[in-house]
A and B are shown apart, each in its own frame.
Chain A
Amino acid sequence: MTTKRPDPENDLFPQMYRELHRVAGGYLRRERKNHTLQPTALVNEAWIRVQKEQGHELKGRTHGLAIAAQAMRRLLIDHGRHQKRDKRGGGAQPVELNDLMNAAAEGPVPVEDLLTLEAALTRLEAIDPRAAQIVTLRFFSGMSSREVAEHLQLSLRTVEGDWAHARAWLKRELSGEQHPPSEE
């Protein structure tokens, strides 16, 4: 959840977080009925509002989106956990990352799937923080690889490599397989 380098964006964070919380709150109320969320749209909307209020202090779009993405990730997860408590049972179910990615780009994502993703993302963060950050930016802010590369000051090739690998890694995690299959 933390970024590796010290980052000036953290200075803005508390202020923005409050604003984002407000946006997310309204969004989540709207979505409550079917327990689905649309992370990218939510972040975009939040970002536009933040920009209106803070405008000049932010260093461009990717900067703001990155902050928004981190904050939203946290908010969504909190929301998901809160919601899950109201529901019977539990236990992560297999989720298709492709479905999740497409859904995030096109429409709402089931809240439970987000939680499963979050659990996997946390595990990835522990062993490959850079990859986890790239996933967060791409998934929650809808940034392109190029934008992510620019924002993190990495080469496009590195971002795309991490992204391809992280996708396979996450898909395997989300498929419910605890261990890599082994030959008999």
Chain B
Amino acid sequence: MASVHARAKDIFLDAVEIAAADRAAFVEQACAGDAELRREVESLLLYHDEESTNEAEPAAASFAPGALVAGRYRMIARIGQGGMGDVWRADDLVLDTAIALKVFLASGPDARDRLLNEVRLARQITHPSVCRVFDVGQADGVAFFTMELVRGEDLAALLRRVGRLPSDKVIDIARQLCAGVAAAHAHGVLHRDLKPANVLIDDDGRARITDFGIAITKTNTRGHALTGTPAYMAPEQRIPGGTVSERTDVYSLGLVLYELLVGHDAFKRSATLDEPLRPSAIVANVDPALERAIMPALSHDPELRWGSVEEMAAALPQATPNQTTASAPATAFDLRRRPVWLAGLGIAALVALLAYGSAFVGLPSSRTLTEQDVVLLADFENATGDPVFDGALKVALAVALEQSPFLKVFPEEQARQTLRLMQRPAGERITRAIARDIAMRERLKALLAGSIANLGQSYIVTLEAINAQTGDVMAQEQAQAATKEQVLSSMGKAAVSLRRKLGESLASVQKFDVPLPRATTSSLDALYAYSLALDNGREVPRLEAIPHLKRAIELDPAFAMAYAQLSAVYSNTGQGALAPEVARKAFELRDRVSDREQFFISWRYYRDALQAWDKALDVARTWTATYPREAFAFNSLGNALIRFGQFDQAVQPLRDAIRLDPQFIPAYSNLAASLLALNRLPEARQILRQAADRRLEFAGARRLSFLMAFVEGDAQTMEKELAASIGVRSTNAAFGWQAHVLAFGGRAGDAHEQYRRGIDRSGAGNFKEVAAQLSIEDAETHATLGQCETAKAEVPAGLAISRDTAAVDRASRVLALCGVPEATALSGEVQKRLPDAILISRVSAPVTAAMLALSRGEPKHTIELLEPVRSYDLAPAAELWPVYIRGQAYLQLKDGAAARKEFQTILDHRGQVPVSVLYPLAHLGAARAATLMGDPAAARASYDSMLELWKSADPALAPLIEARRERAALDVTPS
């Protein structure tokens, strides 16, 4: 006689072959009155898993993220695996709302019937505590239905995370669940599978009952199929043919509440007892009334339980927390205040939620503890010799990994672009080593490397997660596939598992301290050196950058961006003469770099090497249109507009630059300068304050603050800014600030002293261009104030220090002002050196010619020469000279009105050149124009303004002596 085990096995195996509904009868007959045998078979059948007897593995995911299902639902991410199928977060494109979409992997009429049943039942119930079901459909051979997307987690996950809940929270949830189940019962629907995993708590702490998958109507309570979750089944559910009722749900509900209260299921400690231990015997601080409501629900005999969920609800105590629960430590968990939970929620809990979360749990955006981690996939090492695996596995792996909201796969396209930055062919295989290089450049924490190999007839897929910084293996997974067809699904499983491990490890991996910029170079070391030259990743030109940039170029002599950035530093730190060579070099190498770099390089080339500001402006316009998020591009556009004196137009792009990158210093400087030029001092000050608030310090801020203080007569601030700037290497030009101010006041001698000091110190610091500049500015001051002999002597001295284009350009103006014909030669020299420099050919050259004409006594010709310059009158490089010279020419022509208009232009633009000596002289010009126009009152006022500005001026200055004499003559002339 075979054992009970063996006989039960035979009957069991026969029973599973026949339809579930007919099994009870079959078993009864086959056991022929042997009660022991029948119990054994029936209990085995209870645990029989219908769908997993066959070998066929369910597809890891029947849809890919991004797939459009039934022409209406855009699949976003798989968010859970239920008993019968996957749950996806999807967008309903018709209603434009996020939903949960439950897919049924099992095919066949049984499964479809079950699905339809679920939907039909669930749709009847509309209650705040019941997850709403919307639609049912079929696509690509799978059935699905859609439901409300609940953002939160299920009770099972919650319990895993927090252990157990305090009484008041359990009471709160109990009330909601009772109400929801009561609503279902009112529609004649039993749930029959209530368990923690089927209750979701949303972000607001509201409970939702889900998964009416095995619910049956109350009128069909006999002969039900043996389905459900054994651990949460009522005793009558475990008996084939047992009668289920509302009291069945009362029992399951009681079990759920019990588990919430004590942290484990009711029968853990008393598997053989009919009734579980009282919660108060297991944990402290249990609300006695709550316990009195739960315990009767757990009676083995349905007749001894609450008659309905309403009865149970009525037995629940008030939800207000009493003294005992208030002191329970677990009260720190507030169901309605998600952030409190989040604080203690580690990545492991999140990953666990992903792995186990059974129902349709949407992940709220606020859940992201760390930003989404991006991983890079290396190309698969394919040792099978079968090319079919070459690309497919990588794509499949990406899809599998992307189902985690915490992982993002670095886009292939971008990886290929980075390859180009590494000066490797875009089609090159991304090997492990190359992948690591890419990952480091892109600041990715990890890369995944996979391989596939034969093992006899089968295949082994190995996945490894590698820490990009250290090269260590963080996690490894292996999957085996018996056939080629199974490789993908095996790998999918391995990926899921790797994802879980990776999620845990990634949380502990620090991002790189030094961000590696995106720049084309074949040398990682050169890139590193380049990164040190930047200011927190920004291409801010700084003196400190020079050694790093030189080092980068040394490591990679074809490093285009390093040359371009070096040019930027030279141009912005008073070493402009060194810029063209490196800017040209960058420009020559531009074909091998990315688009973004090309813009930067072209900008530098036109600006630094050619001074072709018109072309630079074009580049900036295209650049901002192509890269609308690039602060540098917008700053460049503003900068170029400023060069043409279009300050009002420059304001917006500069504001955009600050908005795009509030840490980008040059934009603040340029914006404040524009606002000052527009005489909008309060706004300019505000911008400087904004920069200071953001702890951004830059030399330009001090200069602007100094100039504004000067315009407003704030000597104290001027003193402060000057003191802070003198001697700082990057602000060598500060030596000239005080000289400018003195010259403005007509104190030529004192100004000269200051200039000399500046020249000496700049020269000593090897800033020859700055020294030459100061020297020729000094000469220019003398020339402007009528001291041409001194000026003429100083020009060659200045040019001897440095014959850079800026120096020669200004020198030609000084000599022209003094009527020295050699000015033309110098002007020609500059034009020859910079044939594309629009502000040289359109402004400097005609101004020099006009000055010479005026000194020759040809005012008409002077005006003719200056007429085309009018549109550049306000360009900063013109320094208002075309306006001033036109005014002088009109005075010679005795055209008072025209002259006055010109001088008034200067007086109206004080903010543009706040320290220009032309400003007091414009008052003098205006006074003379007024006299010509027969307006002595206006003339007197203008003379007085000029004399007030020059009250401390050198007494021997020709313009001062003339002004005093003319002013006095006005008083004696009878009106």
**Residues of chain A at the chain B interface (Cβ within 8 Å):** 34, 38, 40-41, 44-45, 48, 60-61, 93-94, 98, 101, 105-108, 127-128, 142, 144-147, 160-161, 163-165, 167-169, 171-172, 175-184
Q: Can you list the 6 inter-chain pairs with the closest CB atoms, starting with the nearest?
A: A107-B497, A180-B43, A171-B47, A61-B456, A168-B47, A168-B44
A167 touches B482 (CB 8 A): no
Given A106-B497, A144-B482, A168-B48, A178–B13 Cβ distance below 8 Å? no
A158 and B46 CA atoms in complex are apart in Å by 21
Which residues of the partner chain B approach A171 to less than 8 Å between Cβ atoms? 47, 49, 230
Give 19 A-B pairs besides A164-B48, A165-B9, A167-B53 with Cβ atoms closer than 8 angstroms: A38-B497, A105-B493, A127-B3, A128-B6, A128-B9, A142-B480, A145-B55, A161-B9, A164-B13, A164-B16, A167-B48, A168-B47, A168-B48, A171-B49, A176-B267, A176-B268, A181-B235, A181-B238, A183-B39
Taking CB as reference atom, which chain B residue is nearest A126?
Answer: B5
**Residue from A41, A107, A167 in contact with B496 in the complex, judged by beta carbons closer than 8 Å:** A107
B456 touches A60 (CB 8 A): yes
**Residue from A41, A108, A168, A178 in contact with B12 in the complex, judged by beta carbons closer than 8 Å:** A168
A50 and B581 CA atoms in complex are apart in Å by 64
B721 close to A (CB within 8 Å): no
A144 and B355 CA atoms in complex are apart in Å by 24
Which residues of the partner chain B approach A172 to less than 8 Å between Cβ atoms? 43-44, 46-47
Which residues of the partner chain A approach B47 to less than 8 Å between Cβ atoms? 167-169, 171-172, 175
A38 and B504 CA atoms in complex are apart in Å by 16
Nearest Cβ on chain A to B441's Cβ, whole angstroms: 29
Taking CB as reference atom, which chain A residue is nearest B57?
Answer: A105
Which residues of the partner chain A approach B500 to less than 8 Å between Cβ atoms? 107
**Residue from A44, A167, A176, A181 in contact with B239 in the complex, judged by beta carbons closer than 8 Å:** A181
B231 close to A (CB within 8 Å): yes
Taking CB as reference atom, which chain A residue is nearest B355?
Answer: A107
**Residue from A38, A61, A105, A169 in contact with B458 in the complex, judged by beta carbons closer than 8 Å:** A61
**Residue from A108, A127, A167, A184 in contact with B5 in the complex, judged by beta carbons closer than 8 Å:** A127
**Residue from A44, A145, A169, A178 in contact with B44 in the complex, judged by beta carbons closer than 8 Å:** A169
A60 and B455 CA atoms in complex are apart in Å by 10
**Residue from A48, A167, A175 in contact with B460 in the complex, judged by beta carbons closer than 8 Å:** A48
The listed residue with most B CB atoms (<10 A of its CB), out of A108, A145, A160, A169, is: A169
Given A165-B13, A172-B43, A175-B47, A160–B480 Cβ distance below 8 Å? no
A16 and B853 CA atoms in complex are apart in Å by 104
Q: Per DSSP, are chain A's interface residues mostly helix, strand or loop, or mixed?
A: helix
Taking CB as reference atom, which chain A residue is nearest B46?
Answer: A172
Given A48-B455, A176-B267, A182–B501 Cβ distance below 8 Å? no
A145 and B52 CA atoms in complex are apart in Å by 13
A165 touches B44 (CB 8 A): yes
B764 close to A (CB within 8 Å): no
B231 touches A175 (CB 8 A): yes
Interface bits B44-78 vs A (CB < 8 Å: 1, else 0):
11111100110100000000000000000000000
**Residue from A40, A45, A94, A180 in contact with B40 in the complex, judged by beta carbons closer than 8 Å:** A180
A48 and B235 CA atoms in complex are apart in Å by 48
Taking CB as reference atom, which chain B residue is nearest A173?
Answer: B47
The listed residue with most B CB atoms (<10 A of its CB), out of A101, A144, A147, A163, is: A144
Nearest Cβ on chain A to B153's Cβ, whole angstroms: 18
A34 and B475 CA atoms in complex are apart in Å by 13
Nearest Cβ on chain A to B635's Cβ, whole angstroms: 49
Interface bits B437-473 vs A (CB < 8 Å: 1, else 0):
0000000000000000001111010000000000000
Given A94-B231, A160-B53, A106–B45 Cβ distance below 8 Å? no
A93 and B496 CA atoms in complex are apart in Å by 26
A148 and B629 CA atoms in complex are apart in Å by 60
Nearest Cβ on chain A to B275's Cβ, whole angstroms: 15
B16 touches A44 (CB 8 A): no
Taking CB as reference atom, which chain A residue is nearest B4?
Answer: A127
A181 touches B43 (CB 8 A): yes
B478 close to A (CB within 8 Å): yes
Nearest Cβ on chain B to A146's Cβ, whole angstroms: 8
Given A60-B456, A61-B455, A164–B43 Cβ distance below 8 Å? no
Taking CB as reference atom, which chain B residue is nearest A182?
Answer: B39
| 17 A–B contacts from the bound complex (CB under 8 Å) | A41-B477, A44-B478, A93-B268, A94-B231, A107-B355, A147-B482, A163-B53, A165-B9, A165-B13, A169-B44, A171-B230, A172-B43, A177-B43, A177-B271, A179-B272, A181-B46, A182-B39
A180 touches B39 (CB 8 A): yes
B267 touches A165 (CB 8 A): no
B259 close to A (CB within 8 Å): no
B480 touches A44 (CB 8 A): yes
Which residues of the partner chain A approach B154 to less than 8 Å between Cβ atoms? none
Given A98-B52, A181-B43, A183-B239, A106–B493 Cβ distance below 8 Å? yes
B42 close to A (CB within 8 Å): yes
Nearest Cβ on chain B to A24's Cβ, whole angstroms: 14
A94 and B272 CA atoms in complex are apart in Å by 13
Given A40-B480, A107-B497, A178-B271, A98–B49 Cβ distance below 8 Å? yes
Given A44-B480, A45-B478, A164–B267 Cβ distance below 8 Å? no
**Residue from A60, A144, A176 in contact with B271 in the complex, judged by beta carbons closer than 8 Å:** A176
**Residues 205 to 262 of chain B near chain A (Cβ within 8 Å):** 230-231, 235, 238-239
Nearest Cβ on chain A to B44's Cβ, whole angstroms: 4
A89 and B45 CA atoms in complex are apart in Å by 33
Which residues of the partner chain B approach A161 to less than 8 Å between Cβ atoms? 9, 13
A48 and B355 CA atoms in complex are apart in Å by 29
Nearest Cβ on chain A to B174's Cβ, whole angstroms: 24
Interface bits B581-608 vs A (CB < 8 Å: 1, else 0):
0000000000000000000000000000
**Residues 470 to 529 of chain B near chain A (Cβ within 8 Å):** 477-480, 482, 493-494, 496-497, 500-501, 504
B49 touches A168 (CB 8 A): yes
Which residues of the partner chain A approach B9 to less than 8 Å between Cβ atoms? 128, 161, 165
Nearest Cβ on chain A to B238's Cβ, whole angstroms: 5
Which residues of the partner chain A approach B355 to less than 8 Å between Cβ atoms? 107
Taking CB as reference atom, which chain B residue is nearest A172?
Answer: B47
A171 and B229 CA atoms in complex are apart in Å by 12
Which residues of the partner chain A approach B479 to less than 8 Å between Cβ atoms? 41
Taking CB as reference atom, which chain B residue is nearest A175?
Answer: B230
Which residues of the partner chain A approach B55 to less than 8 Å between Cβ atoms? 144-146, 160
**Residue from B45, B231, B235, B497 in contact with A168 in the complex, judged by beta carbons closer than 8 Å:** B45
Which residues of the partner chain B approach A169 to less than 8 Å between Cβ atoms? 44, 47
Nearest Cβ on chain A to B361's Cβ, whole angstroms: 18
